[in-house]
Amino acid sequence: MFAAYTAQKQYARFNLFEDCTMDYAFHTVDVFTPTPFSGAQITVFPQAEGLNARQMQVIAREINHPETVFVLPGKSTVSAELKVFSPLSERAVGSHSVVAAARALVHSKTLATSKENSTIQFSQGNKVFDVVLAQHEGRLITQLSMSVSAQVDRYVPDTKELQAALGLGAHDIETLKAKTLFVSCDSSYLIVPLRSLDAVYRARFNLEAWSRSSAGSAPVNEVLVYCSETESLQTDFHLRILGAHIAQDESPPVGAAIPAFVASLCETRGLADGTHAFWLERGRKAQRQSVLKVEFVKKATAAMVVRVGGDAVLVASGTMRAPENE
């Protein structure tokens, strides 16, 4: 009797501890695709208030998607603040995370939509993003609009250094039609043009070779490789991001790198002032490919405006117990 009573008390204490730990709702969204189980997998926590950065990182590692988005209350006219984590580290907000967050917030009725286009704002720290929500044939289309002031540096590793850092051969790196550039638009990237889709997927980031190269001292953590060979007739470029904190066979979302990529195109192709548009793809068709439409307005006397948009599909919902707060 006493043993049973003691066990009952211990069970009650255990339940009390469990009840003090919050459950957080989440939605998994397939981004830049109209088709479930395609595109980029991103999980969104639409009400993440109460979680700290360490807990967010633990959750992102447990979910193990390329990006996990945590939505916090916005300030003033900002609808929401976003924090984005990969399984290994915090990342900059990009078009993938914005489109996923908008889709999840509309689903949870935190954001309202109308038949007319509506513009809201998301933020990350001091940076504010304009987001256009539109209905098209019953689907939510989200477009992220950014004002971009890019810094471009032509002092980059030479071809031999790039070959070693990316595990590629002498003929894989494009040197005639485009040039390798360091580009900084809030986040910094080394933008490397390659000659084939095969080279894009053979590329492997070698941290030791990178550290020995002239890039080792640059404030750049990730490399964006691209080529004009694509799998789809609709698209103009194929993009992939590599880096020390990215698994070798992974093809993570490229949204945060698109402003830098656009700036590199303007620099290497001598594009005239005006409005330009192109389509790009990320990932293989057989491995959850995303297709993004990019528009940008180039003016010699003003910051460039870059708009990235597309579709998204909600595929799963659930709750997760918050990690212990150390």
Cβ-count burial 273-304 (b if 16+ within 10 Å, e if not): eeebeebbbbbeeeebbbbbbbbbbbeeeeeb
Instruction: Please give the structure tokens belonging to residue 252.
Output: 């993570």
Domain that holds residue 90: 2-120+312-321
Distance CA 187, CA 146 (A): 13
Distance CA 321, CA 326 (A): 15
Distance CA 277, CA 311 (A): 17
| Structural domain contains residue 90 | yes
Predicted local distance difference test score (pLDDT) of residue 266: 92
Q: Are residues 159 and 207 in the same domain?
A: yes
Predicted local distance difference test score (pLDDT) of residue 181: 95
| Structural domain contains residue 25 | yes
> pTM of this prediction?
0.80
Chain-wide mean pLDDT for the chain?
A: 89
| Structural domain contains residue 134 | no
Q: Are residues 157 and 230 in the same domain?
A: yes
Distance CA 233, CA 251 (A): 21
Q: Output phi, psi for 267, to 5 deg.
A: -70, -45
User: Residue 104: in which H helix or E strand, if any?
Assistant: helix 95-107
Q: Find where tokens 């850092």 sit.
A: 165
Number of separate domains in the chain: 2
| Structural domain contains residue 140 | no
Q: Are residues 238 and 169 in the same domain?
A: yes
* 202 pLDDT above the threshold of 90: yes
Predicted local distance difference test score (pLDDT) of residue 155: 86
| Structural domain contains residue 132 | no
Average pLDDT value for residue range 160-176: 95
Q: Are residues 166 and 282 in the same domain?
A: yes
Q: Are residues 177 and 116 in the same domain?
A: no
pLDDT digits (tens, 9 = 90+) for 7-38: 433 433 334 344 457 999 999 999 999 889 99
pLDDT digits (tens, 9 = 90+) for 52-105: 999 999 999 999 999 999 999 999 999 999 999 999 999 989 999 999 999 999
Q: Are residues 316 and 277 in the same domain?
A: no
Q: Are residues 158 and 80 in the same domain?
A: no
Q: Are residues 285 and 168 in the same domain?
A: yes
Query: Could you give the 3-state DSSP secondary structure of residue 281?
Result: strand
Q: Are residues 293 and 156 in the same domain?
A: yes
Instruction: Please give the structure tokens belonging to residue 178.
Output: 């485009």
pLDDT digits (tens, 9 = 90+) for 87-100: 999 998 999 999 99
Distance CA 320, CA 299 (A): 47
User: Residue 200: in which H helix or E strand, if any?
Assistant: helix 197-202
Distance CA 171, CA 187 (A): 29
Q: Are residues 191 and 267 in the same domain?
A: yes
Alpha-carbon separation of residue 136 from 113, 155, 215, 221, 311 (angstroms): 12, 44, 44, 37, 10
Predicted local distance difference test score (pLDDT) of residue 56: 98
**Cβ neighbours of residue 304 under 8 Å, at least 6 residues apart?**
147, 148, 149, 150, 259, 262, 263, 266, 296, 297, 298
Rounding to the nearest 10 degrees, give the CA dihedral for residues 250, 319, 83, 325.
Answer: -110
Q: Are residues 109 and 168 in the same domain?
A: no
Asked if 238 contacts 230 with a C-beta cutoff of 8 angstroms, the reply is yes
| Structural domain contains residue 284 | yes
**Cβ neighbours of residue 277 under 8 Å, at least 6 residues apart?**
293, 294, 295, 296
CATH number, domain at 193? 3.10.310.10
Q: Are residues 185 and 254 in the same domain?
A: yes
| Structural domain contains residue 136 | no
Predicted local distance difference test score (pLDDT) of residue 2: 37
| Structural domain contains residue 316 | yes
Average pLDDT value for residue range 108-132: 88
